[in-house]
Structure 1
Amino acid sequence: MADKLVSDITREFLVCQICLDDYRQPKVLPCLHTFCRRCLERMVGNKTKICCPTCRQISTYQYENGIAGLKDNFFVGKLHDMVRNATHREEAPERRSASRAVCRSCGDMSSTTRYRDNCDDFLCQNCVGSDLRTRASPRRKMFSSTPTESKAEGTQETERTSHSLHADPDVLYCKSCHDFICRKGSLSKHRARLHSQVRETAERETSEVRALLVETEKVAALHEKRLQELNTRREVWQQQCEENIAKIEEQARRAIQTIQMERDERIKQLKRVETTKNRQLLENITAVAVSAARVRGSCTYAREVIEKGTPEEVLAVAQEVKERLKQCSKLRAPSFS
């Protein structure tokens, strides 16, 4: 129960959601979410804004030291140290009891007792050699039950690696943590979890994978069909666009041709009207010019008679001058439409 509680605390509070590993130099963002310093530095780079991977809140920070200037999460660091110390205290009695285990072969109890692959198959120093000759395979490794001796030989490995090397029916599979466990040595750590034979679990998982594979292949086929339909629709649409563009260009060409023809016709009509109008205007100009010259001549003659003529000369031409002036005064300048 304590192991499960420690595991839950570690998973929920002591694991960085970026690297999925234990916190290293935990830093707190303005949104109060915590991540490793190096994870944040790799994610941010040279930018001055950071987007929280958990809540997606964008925060702006202005520190000379960059991410290093963010506040440290001392609570997470202290909790991590407490969990680690508690784990070491729980493991210490197990190591001391293992150092006085009974040899499986001869029944002797010795501080030099050794065991294989984290199992309870303890062997004393005298029985190790015979076990290597009779039972040990190249895939098995020998570990010292004494913590100092084991550390000196550098033979500490993860539970996953050691149990995966078993080739006997003592190896089980834990469905809860998805790992191989040993029936003899590590089963106590998985009491509250579900166990099954490796082959049985593998067959069941294979069946489930095959069922999922069939469904996924159907989905993939539907996606491929949909992709083909979209590509066909795209080609049809492109062809329709090209045809419509050609129609628009043809309509524009015809419209331009019609406009040009109408322009030429109107210009011809305007030129014909201009020619006729010019001829009429020239005739009117000539008529007005003749009439104006006649009136102006009569006025000039009358003015010279009255200004320069003698009384006898005025009386001699007075009737003629008056007649001419009467006729000119009745003349009207021609009007034109």
Structure 2
Amino acid sequence: MAAARDPYIEELRDLVSCSICLDHYEDPRILPCSHTFCFKCIQQCALNNGSFQCPFRDDSTVNTRDIYQLPINRAAKDMVELASKMSMFSLNPEQQQVKCDNCDQQRAVHWCEKCSSHYCDSCTKSVHSIKTLQSHSVVPLAEKASVFCTEHSDEKIKYWCARCQLPVCRDCLLFKHKDHQCISIQDAATRAKTELQVVLQDIDKREQQLGLELFEVNGIIEQQHATYRRAHSEIKKRFYAQHRSLEEEEKCIKKK
């Protein structure tokens, strides 16, 4: 029994998931340390603790009053929208109510393409324990949406409608999407992967740019600190020199 999982899909899921709420980003904000979290997660932590400290322990802390100034991570926001178009986040209500085709009692959690059947966890193991069925490709029910059309449940998705930004089947091409520009799902997947790579490259560039800007800002801060220390030292020297001068004048006046 082989569970089919696309490594690109898994990677994209990880990239668009907040490390605090473990859900996909909502209003992603980027910290000075380049890590990204949902604004609501940052806000909640800041309200509870008085400030938000990056959970990756990189000493990046943002005061509550400053969290509203954190910039939006537009690359992450674009990836969330791309992932949403690929229907990666959740099942629709109809899929959630599907029962196991074998026992007709438990809720189905897997789909076997070879058997063309839905299975609960228990039946998945028992049915595919038979040696001749162990080579079947079994996927989580959440991934069936990327295999079969939501409008024509018996038809596999083979095309992508560029106009509607939706996966479609052969019947969709003949009727609802008849005059729309459609390409094969393989070509659409290739384009999506290319777009994802471009987004990832953009993230790398932005991260490098932010790193350079942070380095420059730290340099400016250090220069300001050095200027402050020099000024403070000079003021102290002049103060003590003036103080000694006044003491000497006082002694001279007393001698007279």
TM-score after normalising by structure 2? 0.39
When you count helix as a share of all residues, which structure comes out higher? 1
Which structure carries more relative contact order (alpha carbon 8 Å, separation 6+)?
Answer: 2
TM-score after normalising by structure 1? 0.31
Larger radius of gyration: 1
